[in-house]
Structures are given as structure tokens and as C-alpha cells.
Amino acid sequence: MLGLLVFAEKFIEIPRLLQPIGRMHPLVLHFPIVLFILLAFVEVYKKSIGSIGYKRMLPYLTFATALTSLISALMGLFLSQESGYAGDGISAHKWYGIGLTFLALILFNSSLKKQGSSLHSLLFIGSLVLSIPILIIGSHKGANITHGKNFVLEPLNSDEADKALTGEVYADFIYPIIKRKCINCHNDDKTKGGLNMTSIYSLIKGGDSGLSIVKGSAEESELIHRINLPIEDEEHMPPDGKRQLTENEIDLFIAWINEGAERTLKTAAVNPQSDLFDLIKNQGESKRINQYAFKAVNQKVLSSVNGPFVNARPLFVNSPALEVDLFVRKTYTPELLNALKPIRDQTVHLNLSGLPIKDDDLNFIGTFSNLEKLLLNGTDINGDNLHALNQNTKLTSLAISSTSVASEHVLMLKDHPALQEIYVWDTQLNEDDIDYLKAKLPRINLHVGVMAESQPPIPLSPPILVNNKEIVGTDEDIVLEHKLNGAKIFYTLDGEDPDETSAIFNHPIRINKYTQIKSRSIKEGWLPSEVVTHNFYVKGKPFEDLRLLTTPNQKYQANGARTLNDFEKGEINKFGNKKWLGYQETPFSALIDLGADFDPASQIILSYGLNMGSYIMAPTRVDVYGGNNLKNMKRIKIHRLPLPKDYVPNAEVALPLDLVDNQFQYLQVIAYPMKMLPQWHAGAGAKAWLFVDELFVY
Amino acid sequence: MKSPGFDHRMNINRRHFLGKLGVGVGSAALGSLLVPGLFSSKGDSADSISGLTHFAPKAKRVIYLFQNGAPSQLESFDYKPTLNTRFGEDLPESIRGMQRLTGMTANQERFPLVGSKFSFSQYGKAGTWVSEIFPHIASIADDICVVKTIYTEAINHDPALTFMQTGAQVGNRPSMGAWMSYGLGSENENLPAFCVLLSRGRGNGQGVYSKLWTNGFLDSVHQGVQFSSGEDPILYLNNPAGTDKAGRREMLDQLDKLNQLSYQTYGDPEIHTKIQQYEMAYRMQTAVPEVTDISKEPDHIIKLYGPECIIPGTYAANCLLARKLSESGVRFVQLYHQGWDQHDNLLRDMPLQAEDADRPSAALIKDLKQRGLLDETLVIWGGEFGRTNYCQGRLRVDNYGRDHHPRCFSIWMAGGGIKTGTYGETDEFGYNIVKDPVHVHDLHATILHLMGMDHERLNFKHLGRRFRLTDVHGKVVPGLIA
């Protein structure tokens, strides 16, 4: 039967029912392998086993070997009848397997007749010796069919990304995917489904289901159809359990087919409007970056270089190239730089920005043979030794911004073999130097940025009020400052806008009444700042008692009446911050008791907020009542405010209410909120808010 | 009674156990000594957290200039003259479709269209449209990519902002910066890998909260560190009064001994983390003042950012600080500039906001470029969603406001491998995307890609499943990559 199968296989069709048996071949074949090895062991150690035991076990052992060999050979033949197994590898494996089976039969036969017959003994030994190499070679061929070629050594092989690019889309981008994910089952030896993907021609030709690729139409291509089937589908490729294609790989396949699936398509010739262009552009760059010929640094060396102030790391996983950064000026020592010696040939990016690097150090940096980008911004170099960088023959980008290099130093790099970019912003160079250098260094791109002299003047920022306190005692200092070196502050107390003829601020100010300070900062090369206005309130008379006669809206009650004399000014942009009392419809009404031995008040200041976008408006009217008896208060002041005609900027407003001939212990202040927002307001018709935060009596 | 030590050993959590196991396998594997790279991840599912990128990165660092409150795309980068010619007409229902509206305009009877009152011009080689209130950003048109077709799912600030920062609308997922810190590690061990800077503009503001820069379920070392505008940029970093540097050193040395003892007893890896954190804080005492000192910046750099940049806590100061932090190796600098929520009074507030944000944003790009850093730094500028093409409230001739709009909005990006020009198109009403949509998840995937990370491989197992910044979504947008 075996003979029949071997010689007449072309005329035989294996019934479907037998196919599962055939598929058990890769499982069963391990029995004869082990038994052959066992036989060899038994033969070698037969003296230790003892001749009786040896003679008894030998027929059983050879029988088992022969039987399992025969069964696995049959199974193998069944399996080979399935589609997808063809080619030289299969046929060699087949003959090795059959040879081994015959040897097993001879071994069984001669083990039965071996007693005393030297011919059979010789036959036995000869067959056994012969079987071992056949076993090894045959198994190897078989393993290649099941697992694919180079399965064992694959992890040792470097990624195909390391190899030079050919410039062809198929070779550089498509075939590597096929090789990773498809070729194990679709090669010259194992053509599952009749498909062989080792060459583009056999790929397009397809397998049992016909053409696998319709050039120019991924949609109609069987390959893409199969890939896109749900993974549970029988026909999905790669089959469930095998490594699947990533989305990016699928996109690449689709784009490549849509662009015509030509083997000779050059990467450079891909239509820039196509998806393919976008997809390969990224990958191409990753591959290019990966093309460093030098060896990676030993991991131990790399760890020893790294520390809190030195960061040296591969550009990405598996890259031999390193990027190296050194940090923190204060803790820098020259040893940190010198310690890079063992990794200098692998360093392609070196960042020393901001460190006290000197010109002498450039000699050492010049020995970094593969350096491509060097950042020396803000270092202490003055450029005398810049020519040392001519040794860095791979250096393409050099940044020396914010250093004191001058034109003649940059000129030293005139004949540099690789330099493309030099960043020289914020150096000694002026516009004439730049023009000169551009003429002298035509190949090099000089990045000069925005030159100081070409910047149009802009206004300075206004002075800042230190402590940010607007309610002060008469013994407290008011201090204005500006952070920019050389900026002067001018100010006025009379409401006029200050200019360079006004008082210059150089010592703290003290005040004894409500004062408006206007100030601005001025510096050469800048436009004067805008004028800032600060309202300073002097802490007023102490109150014996202060009560609210109406309740603020429940959302803005802050700390009740205390809010009005806690000496904390609120900012109206932060009206929710508990420094404001908010009223809607209900008027604000507060009663002040100055105490029995009071000094009569001459002025009240009511401080309210304006934030029209948030519906916070000025009061329409403020009344003051006075009396020495709470039952007999009379109105002593009416103050009406004009209705606003448009939005005004947010502000905290001090409303002074002068009291003439006032002699009263009790004062009541009533402020009426606007009933509804005016017509021009986005919220026209809605209720307006009144926000009050402080009340002073002088 | 069992010893507490025994209890604790049993209780070391699984994450630490697996973490330790991973290090053990990685460092002891004989194979990796014999055959370098044998155990390196080449598989598709392996999520290697090695502090190394998955593939060659284009950007090493990110500066995210978040414009919180959502600046209107229609007054900045998405020029829609149709809205001016159809001023006051109702937005056709066919355009609005089934869009969910906020409570602020859902009950409006009319949706009157309103166009930008600010004029637009084209700038740069690609003819990028920029409105007149962003003259400085217009001047860097050749360095930026305006993406007009970002879209999101959220319609209110907090969920939209949280979505933009963490990839989920509900809180407590790790923020983008935390993922970067987790995936790439720290470049400079003397500064946090993820720094957060806040500023407030003059327009209507919306709050930002620390949940936006949370580490979520990642280790707490990945949390964003907020810099404050006060005297101490990092709170509690300086030695308390009466303690000098030598005293602090001695204290740390003794504390280290105690911690080592307790590590021997309990074996909790958090103790080692703690020791490292103390050491890092000690080094930060030197590094932070160095990086935050702007007194040595020359006048013309101050001018570039605008004079506000010397006032701590302003957007301009934060932009300058962002450059300095990024230059010092901080992986992710996150700015939030608040005040872009122009529901009404847009004509007054938006120019104020733009005035604050325009010059410093452009200055940052110029500054990075002039130092040779722009090609390795990715800068992102934008809000959490867009604004409606119709007026919120009553439309007047001289003022208007816009409600929230998730279906399309504009951001811009620069440097770090981003292409320049514009990307995507919206319809003539500026309401729907007609070409090249970019979902927030896609944006995240693209940002990670530029940083050299596969968004599907950067993940963390938590509560029984693997989480990613892009969760189960997201696709890298090749058209955005140079």
C-alpha cells in the first residue's frame, strides 16, 4: 500500500474522511523519532543493560519503531495530497521519510533473525547507523515545511529594516510584510491554497481561488478580500492563531494595489497625492534613520554613563545610535562631558545647551565621529575653537544661539563637509555679518531668527503693585515695581496721566486719604507702557457696629456685614470669591454706628464692582440717612448715577459721598440696583446685579 | 500572630509584583547577553515599557498650548464668508441635522447665522487663512499646520476638556502627559517629566482642575506637576526657613538609611520609589530656580514674547517658561490659558484673549526654531471644541456670541514632524466636515506616533483590561505628518 501511494500518488485521491488522519502527521511523527534515538542508545549501552534484557526488549522496540514509522509515513502521504504541498522541499522530505520507514522495517526484520547470524547483525548495525543522519535531515526538512524556513534562527537575524533600501516600493515595504506574516505557509515548498508569495509574479497569479491581485483595484482583489474577512471566517487570512496584519500593513497593501502593484514602482515615483505616498513616507524615514552601520554600545557601558545629570539613550528600541543630553549648569563638571568617551562613536545627537562648556571642550567634541546634531545654545563658548568641529564629518546641524560667537568664528566652518544648518540667533552677529556669512557659506542654511534691531518697538508692561494691597493704613508703604532691568516708573497722584516729566518712583509712598495713583513704565527701546490706575483706600473710622438691613442674594452673602469692613478688596472678575455682597432687586442697605463718642464723618466711600458681561452694573442711586436716634433718621444725601450707554471695562469703583454739616452717630447707606439691563445689553430686560465690597467712613 | 512583614509581602500588589518580575526577567536573561535583541519586542502585541520609543520618533517633546474655553474657529482660522453674506438667516435644518445642543441654546427659537466681524487674509506659501486678531500667528504661517477638521463628542467644557486631555469624557484616566511620561520616561531627572502651567485671560473663563493632569491608574510619578506663579514655582520645594543645604543633605542621608532598613523588612518597592523621589526633589532645588530664572533673557527675547512675559503667571510668561522647560528636557509641558468662552460679547472679549495669546504663541515657535529645537518639539495650539455658526441669544448688528460646537473646530500644530499648511475642510457654513475629519482619538494617535510610540502598544492593564490613551479607537493621520 505504501508503495502504491508512493508511486501512484498522482492517480489517487484521498477520501475526505482520511484528511484529519493525514493532519495528525506532525503529531505522530515524534514517536518514531524518539524510538530511533532510543534504539541507538540501547545499542550503545547494551553491555550495561545486560544481554538477556537486551535480547528480550529488542524485537518489541524495533516493532514499535517500524509500526510508528509506517503510520506516520502513511499519514504524511495523506497530508501531502492536500492542496498546498508541492515543491522540492516536500518531495525530499517524502523520500527521506520513506527511506526511514524501510530502514525501520529492516531493523525489525533483522532483530528477529539477528541471534547468531552475523549477516543480520551487520545489517542491523548498518541500518541503525544509516538511519540517524537520514532522521536528522528528514526531520529538518519537515520542520521547515511546518514552521517555515529559518524558524529557529529567526530571532538572531537582524530586522530587515537594517538592510539598505532598494528604492522600490515592493522590495522595501510590501515584501517585508509578506515575509513576516505570509510566507511561512505560502512558499516554494508549502503553497497553502496553491498560493506562493515568494515572488510578485506568483503572488499576483494567485492560487486555487484564482488571481489574488487585480492591479489597480484593491476592492476586487482576492488578497484584500481575504484579509478583511472577519477573523472567525474560515477564509480569513492569515488564519486565526497566526500573526495578524496590523491596520497599517493592511492600508499599505491596499494603497499599493490601488497604485498598480508594479514590482518596479520606485519609491521616488509614487504619486504624492496618493495614500501610498503618505503611508510609505513615514516608514521610509524610520528605516533611513535606522541605517547606522556602527555597533551598539554595550548595555553596561551605557548604564555607567547615565546619571542624574546625563541622559544617554538609543534613538529608539534596537537602534545603535544614541542621543545624549547633559543638564543643570550649577552641578556641571568637565568630568561629566569626558565620561562620554566610551559612547562618543555612537552619539548622533548631543545637547549641551545652557552648560558652561568652553572652547577647549570643542576639541573633545570633535572626536565624536558620528555626531549629526549638536546643540550648544547658551553655553560659554566664544567661538575661538569652532574649527574643531570640522572633524565631525557627519555633523549636519549646529546650534550656537545665545553665545558670544562672532562672524569670523562661523567662517571657520566654511569648508565643513556636511553642515547644512547653523543656528546663530542671539549672538554677536548683526545684519551685515549675516549678509557677509550668507555669501561666504552658500551651502549652509543660517538661521538668524528675528534680529533685535529689526523688531518694531512695542509698549512695555505697566508697573506692578507689590503686595497688591489697595487698603492701607497711614503708616503702610505702597511699592510699585517693574521686573525688567532698566525700566523706570513714573507716577502722579492728581489724576493726570504720568509722563517722563512726572515724579519718578524710587522710594515707597504713604497716603492719608483716598488716593488714586496713576503710573506707567518707560524704557529706552520700548514704547511707554499704558497707564495703570490703582485706587488706594485709607482704613477709615472704626465702627461700633455695622449691620445689614437688607439681606443680600443668598448666592452672594460672603461674610455678611463684616465683608464691608474687613479691609479686603474684592476683584470683580472673581465676584464669586466671598469678598462681595450681591444684590438683585432688593436695595443694599447698611447701618453704621460710630459709637457714643464719635467724631462726625465728612465722607463715606462706597466701593462697588462693574462686570457688565456678568450683569453686574453700577447702582442707579445711593442715599445716605443720618440720625442720633435710630427711630429718627433723616435723609442727608441723594446721589444719582447716570445710566450707562455701552459696555465699559470691568472695574472696582470707589464712589465718594461727601457729607456736609453732618453731626450724626448713626449713618445708613442705601444703594439701589438697576431694575433691568438696558436695551443695548445682550441680556436686555434681565435683572441687573449690584455688587458691594467695602464701606469706608472718614 | 503573623508578623506584619509577612502580611505586607503577601499584599504587595499585583502591579508591583509583575513590574518586578519584568525587571528580573529583563536584567537576568542569559539569552539577552548572548544574543542582544533576542528578547526585544518585535511582536505586534508586545507592549514594551522600556522608556524607549517603539520606532524612530520625530518629536522628542510636546508643548501643548491649551486654549481653554474653546476659541471660535470662525473668528480665527476657518474663514466662512458665506456666514457674512447670509447674516441673520436661519441655519438650515438640513445642515444642523440631529446635532445635540447645549441647554443654553437648545430652546432658542431661531438660529441666526453670523459671520466673523474680523477680516481674514491669506498668509504663507500655503495661503493659510488667519483672522486679523492673530497677526503674529499669521506671521508664522509657514511653520504651522492649521487643522480645520478636529471633532469631538462632548458639548460641554468639562467633558470636552477631559476628553481632549485623557481620551475619555469621565475623569481619572491618565492625562496625555502622564502617558508620555509613562511611555518615554524622563529625559532630565532633575525636573518633572510633565509640567503644568496655568494662566487666565480677560474673557469669560472656565475652570481647570488637577484631574486634567492626573496620572489616573498609572504610577503617581507620572502625574503633572503644576508650577505656580508665586515666589515658589513648585510648592514646598524650597527648604523651610532655618534649614540649609548641608542640613537637608544630611537629613536625606539619614532618612535613606531608615528607608533602606524598612525596605529590608517589608520589601515594598514603593519605598525605593520614595527614596528616588526625595533625591529628585533635592536635585530639583537646584534645577528649578535655574530653569525658571528669566532675569538673563535679553531685551529682544522679552520683546518677542511681549513685555507681559516677565510677569509670572501670564500666558506670555508661561510660553517663555515652556520654552525653557522644554529645552531642559521636560517631555510634556501643558499650558492652559483660560477665558475663551465667548457666549456673548464676542467682539469685546475675543480680541482681548487674542491679544494675550497671539504674540507669545508665535514667539514660542520662533524661539524654538531659532535654537534648532522646533524640529524636535511638537507644539499644539487649540481648545476643547468649536463654536456655533449661529448667534447665541439675540443677534444684534454690533455684537454677538457663539455657543459650543463639537462637529468641527480648528487647532494648529507646529514642529516635531508635523507638515505645514492646512488640513481638512468644512462646509460653507462652517458646521460640518466635508473632507479629512480628525477625531480627538486620531489626534492622540498621531501625537503618540510623532513621539515614536504606537498608540496600540502604549497601554496599561488595569481593572482586568488594557487601557490606552486612545482606548479602542484612533488612527494615525498620515496627512498631518511631514
Per-residue model confidence as pLDDT tens digits over A489-498: 999 998 899 9
- The answer to whether residue A159 neighbours chain B at the CB level (below 8 Å) is yes
Quickly state the pLDDT bin for B30 (edges 50, 70, 90). Answer: very low
- The C-alpha R_g of chain B, in whole angstroms, comes to 24
- Comparing CB atoms, the residue among A316, A351, A450 nearest residue B52 is A316
- Distance of CA A698 to CAs A630, A636, A657, Å? 21, 16, 10
Do A549 and A590 belong to one domain?
yes
Where residue B36 falls among pLDDT bands split at 50, 70, 90?
very low
Number of domains in chain A: 5
Residue A316 burial (CB < 10 Å; 0-12/13-18/19+)? buried
- Are residues B91 and B431 in contact, defined by beta-carbon separation less than 8 angstroms? yes
* Domain co-membership, A15 together with A132: yes
Q: What single string gives the DSSP state of each residue in A277-337?
A: HHHHHHHHHHHHHT---SPPPPHHHHHHH-BTTEEEEESSTT---EEEEE--STT--HHHH
Cβ of B478 and A459 within 8 Å?
no
The domains of chain B are located at: 1-40, 55-237+293-480
Residue A459 lies in a domain: no
Examine the domain organization and report whether A322 and A413 are in the same domain: yes
Residue A154 is assigned to a structural domain of this protein: no
Residue B19: which pLDDT band, with cuts at 50, 70 and 90? very low
Q: Please determine, for residue B10, whether its predicted confidence score (pLDDT) is greater than 80.
A: no
Instruction: Check whether B224 has a pLDDT greater than 80.
Output: yes
Range name among A79-88, B240-249, B365-374 with the lowest pLDDT average: A79-88
**What span, in angstroms and rounded, lies between the C-alpha atoms of A568 and A165?**
72
Place of cell 480628525: B438
Q: What is the largest CA-CA distance in chain A?
A: 149
Query: B44, A525: Cβ pair inside 8 Å?
Result: no
pLDDT at B65: 98
Contact flag A682-B308 (C-beta cutoff 8 Å): no
Instruction: Decide: residue B378, CB within 10 A, 0-12 exposed, 13-18 middle, 19+ buried.
Output: buried
Question: Is B23 a residue whose pLDDT tops 50?
Answer: no
pLDDT at A11: 58
Contact B283 A647 (CB under 8 A): no
The radius of gyration computed from the CA coordinates of chain A, to the nearest angstrom, equals: 46
What pLDDT is stored for residue B24 in this prediction? 37
For residues B443-464, one letter each, b for 16 or more C-beta atoms within 10 angstroms of the residue's C-beta and e for the rest, the string is bbbbbbbbbbbbbbbbbbeeee
The larger pLDDT score, comparing residue B141 to residue A13, is at B141
Instruction: Give every CB contact of residue A20 below 8 A, 6+ residues apart in sequence.
Output: none
Can you say whether residue B471 is alpha, beta or left, with left for phi > 0 and alpha for psi between -120 and 50 degrees? left
Confidence of residue B11 (pLDDT cuts 50, 70, 90): very low
| Residue A545 shares a structural domain with residue A625 | yes
Which residue do the cell numbers 499669521 mark? Answer: B138
Interface test with B, best of A251, A324, A328 (most B CBs within 10 A): A328
What is the pLDDT, as a whole number, of residue A682?
84
Both A326 and A438 in a single domain? yes
Size of interface A-B (CB pairs under 8 A): 178
Hey, what amino acid is at A90? I
User: Which residue of chain A is at minimal alpha-carbon distance from B187?
Assistant: A311
What integer pLDDT is reported at residue B160 of this predicted model? 96
Is B397's pLDDT higher than 90?
Answer: no
Contact: A289, B52; criterion CB under 8 Å: no
For residues A130 and A14, membership in a common domain is answered with yes
Cα A662 from chain centroid (whole Å): 71
Q: How far apart are CA B163 and CA B169, in angstroms?
A: 4
Closest chain A C-alpha to B302 CA, distance in angstroms: 9
Q: What is the pLDDT of residues A500-526, one digit of tens each?
A: 999 999 999 998 888 889 999 999 889
Q: B407 to chain A nearest CA, in Å? A: 25
Query: Which residue is it, cell 527648604?
Result: B239
pLDDT at A146 over 90: no
**Exposed, middle or buried, B227 (CB in 10 Å: 0-12/13-18/19+)?**
buried
Report whether pLDDT(B43) > 60.
Answer: no
Q: What is the pLDDT of residue A162?
A: 45
For residues A438 and A474, state if they share a domain. no
The mean-pLDDT minimum among A83-92, A142-151, A200-209, B27-36 falls in: B27-36
Task: Specify which of A230-244, A343-357, B5-19, B290-304 reaches the highest per-range mean pLDDT.
Answer: A343-357
Please give the single-letter amino acid code of residue A264: T
Closest CA to A591 of A657, A659, A668, A664: A668
Single out the residue in A454, A476, A508 at which a domain terminates. Answer: A454
Least confident range of A182-196, A579-593, B68-82: A182-196
pLDDT of residue A561 exceeding 80: yes
**Residue A153 domain flag:** no
pLDDT, one tens digit per residue, over A605-633 is 999 999 998 899 999 999 999 999 888 89
* pLDDT more than 90, % of chain A: 41
d(CA B407, CA A300): 52
CB B213 within 8 A of CB B165: yes
- For the cut 80, the answer to whether the pLDDT of residue A43 exceeds it is yes
Give me the pLDDT at residue B241, please.
85
Closest chain A residue by Cα to residue B452 = A316
Question: Looking at per-residue confidence, does A452 or A405 come out higher?
Answer: A405
Residue A248 lies in a domain: yes
- Cβ–Cβ below 8 Å for A461 and B307: yes
Q: Are B163 and B176 in contact (CB under 8 A)?
A: no
Contact B328 A354 (CB under 8 A): yes
pLDDT at residue B1 tops 50: no
pLDDT higher than 80, residue A678: yes
- Does B371 contact A423 at a Cβ distance shorter than 8 Å? yes
Judged by CB atoms closer than 8 Å, whether chains meet at B371 and A353 is answered as: yes
With cut-offs at 50, 70 and 90, classify the pLDDT of residue A550. Answer: very high
* For residues A673-680, average pLDDT: 92
Name which of A306, A330, A346, A351 to mutate to probe chain B: the one with the most chain B Cβ atoms within 10 A of its Cβ.
A351
Phi-psi region of A424 (alpha: psi -120 to 50; beta: other; left: phi over 0): alpha
* Residue predicted with more confidence, A57 or B387: B387
Dist CA A653 CA B54 (whole Å): 59
Any domain includes A155 = no
Q: Where a domain ends, among A289, A311, A334?
A: A289
Nearest to B225 by CA among B201, B255, B251, B190: B190
Cβ(B429)–Cβ(B80) under 8 Å?
A: yes
Residues of chain A in contact with residue B300, where contact means CB-CB under 8 angstroms, are: 426, 450-452, 455
pLDDT value at residue A7: 60
- In angstroms, the CA A426 to CA A428 distance is 7
Among the ranges given (A159-163, A669-673, B43-47), the one the predictor scored with the smallest mean pLDDT? B43-47
Q: Is the dihedral of CA A500, A506, A512, A516 positive or negative?
A: positive
Strands (E), A93-215: none
pLDDT higher than threshold 60 for residue B8: no
Contact B193, B186 (CB under 8 A): yes
Nearest to residue B297, comparing CAs of B279, B277, B316? B316
Say yes or no: A500 and A580 in one domain: no
| pLDDT at B172 > cutoff 90 | no
Q: Looking at the complex, does the CB of residue A404 fall below 8 Å from at least one CB of chain B? A: no
Residues A385 and A468 in one domain: no
Whether A317 and A351 map to the same domain: the answer is yes
Q: Could you give the CA distance from residue B281 to residue B330 in angstroms, rounded to a whole number? A: 15
3-state helix, strand, coil in chain A (%, to 5): 35, 20, 45
Taking the whole predicted model, whether its pTM rises above 0.80 is answered as no
Q: How far is A225 from chain B (nearest CA, A)?
A: 21
Probe site for chain B from A156, A327, A648 (most B CB atoms < 10 A): A327
The superfamily in CATH containing domain B55-237+293-480 is Alkaline Phosphatase, subunit A (3.40.720.10)
Is the pLDDT assigned to residue B32 strictly greater than 70?
no
Residue type, B200: R
Q: Which amino acid is at A675?
A: K
- CATH number, domain of A310, equals 3.80.10.10
Give yes or no for residue B45 having a pLDDT over 60: no
- Decide if A427 touches B, using CB distance below 8 A: no
**A119, A147, A175 — which closes off a domain?**
A147
What would the grid cell of residue A33 be? 523519532
Task: Evaluate if residue A140 carries a pLDDT over 90.
Answer: no
The verdict on a CB contact (< 8 Å) between A682 and B38 is no
- Which pLDDT score, from 0 to 100, does residue A284 have? 60
Judge whether A311 is closer than 8 Å to chain B, CB to CB: yes
- DSSP structure class, residue A90: H
Predicted confidence band of residue B41 (pLDDT cuts 50, 70, 90): very low
**For the segment B250-288, what is each residue's pLDDT rounded down to a tens digit?**
999 999 999 999 999 988 877 887 888 888 889 998 899
Cα A605 from chain centroid? 56
DSSP string, A340-390: TGGGTTTEEEEE-TTS---TTHHHHHTT-TT--EEE-TT-S--STTGGGGG
pLDDT above 80 (res A253): yes
A682: nearest Cα among A646, A658, A656, A642: A646
User: Could you give the maximum distance between any two Cα atoms of chain B, in Å?
Assistant: 84
End-to-end Cα distance, chain A = 124
Average per-residue pLDDT for chain A:
87
- pLDDT > 60? residue B225: yes
User: Distance (Å, rounded) from C-alpha B416 to C-alpha B377?
Assistant: 5
Residue A152: inside a domain:
no
Helices (H) and strands (E) in chain A, counts: 19, 23
Residue A261 forms part of a structural domain: yes
Residue numbers of the domain that contains A530: 464-537
With beta carbons less than 8 A apart as the criterion, state whether A470 and A536 touch: yes
| Domain match, A177 and A190 both | yes
A525 — contact with chain B (CB < 8 Å)?
yes
Q: Which residues contact B81 (CB under 8 A, 6 or more apart)?
A: B115
- Residue A277 confidence (pLDDT): 79
Instruction: Residue A8: count other Cβ atoms within 10 Å of its Cβ.
Output: 9
H helical segments located in A114-172: 118-147, 169
Question: Is the pLDDT confidence value at A41 over 70?
Answer: yes
- Whether A445 maps to a domain, the answer reads yes
Percentage with pLDDT > 70 across chain B:
89
What residues are paired with B236 via a beta bridge? none
Q: Are A535 and A514 in contact (CB under 8 A)?
A: yes
A211 vs A479, higher pLDDT = A479
A62, A111 contact by CB (below 8 A)? yes
Q: Does the pLDDT of residue B47 top 60, yes or no?
A: no
Asked if residue A341 and residue A206 are part of one domain, the reply reads: no
Q: Of A134, A63, A65, nearest to A94 (Cα)?
A: A134
The conformation of residue A548, written as its DSSP 8-state character, comes to: E
Distance CA B403, CA B391 (A): 7
* Three-state secondary structure string covering B322-364: HHHHHHCCCCEEEEEEECCCCCCCHHHHHHHHHHHHHHHHHHH
Residue A236 has pLDDT above 70, yes or no: yes
